[in-house]
Every structure is written in structure tokens, then in C-alpha cells.
Amino acid sequence: MKVGDLVRNKNSESGELGLFVGMRTFKSNNPVYPNGYDCAEVYWQDRGDVGTIQTNLIEVINESR
């Protein structure tokens, strides 16, 4: 995934679309994720805001050039 890619939320019944804006690393005290974990930051067009989502829950619809 690259910044500017159009992505779709796989769990959205309405087919929610957004623009991938980057990755964010969260710190974790969980021994399963000793170095933290990464999530995608997406600007959701319908909501008009940026949110984080697990990368396995989105798919690239149209790659930016």
C-alpha cells in the first residue's frame, strides 16, 4: 500500500471508501506484540475524518501513481 491509494473497508456493508495516508505504530504491553503493532491510517471520505484500521481489514481498490 502506498500513500494516496484508494482503499475499501472489507467489513463495511456500504463499501466505505477512503484514501490511505500512512501507517501508525501503537505501543503495546502485550507480550504477543513486544514491539507494538501497526495499523493503516485512512481518510474516510464518507465520515470526513482520518481513522486507523488493521491492514487486513482493507483492500486497495485503485493504486496511486
Tens digit of pLDDT for each residue in 24-39?
988 878 787 777 788 9
* pTM for the model: 0.81
6 in Cβ contact with 17 (< 8 Å): yes
64 in Cβ contact with 15 (< 8 Å): no
Summary mean pLDDT of the chain? 90
Instruction: Report the domain count for the chain.
Output: 1
Asked if the structure places residue 1 within a domain, the reply is: no
CB neighbour list of residue 16: distance below 8 Å, 6 or more residues apart: 8, 9, 44, 46
> Which amino acid is residue 4, in one-letter code?
G
Asked if the structure places residue 32 within a domain, the reply is: yes
pLDDT digits (tens, 9 = 90+) for 4-61: 999 999 998 888 999 999 999 888 787 877 777 889 999 998 889 999 999 999 999 9
Report d(CA 2, CA 8) in Å as an integer.
14
Residue range(s) defining the domain that contains residue 57: 6-62
Asked if the structure places residue 12 within a domain, the reply is: yes
pLDDT tier, 65 (very low <50, low <70, confident <90, very high otherwise): low
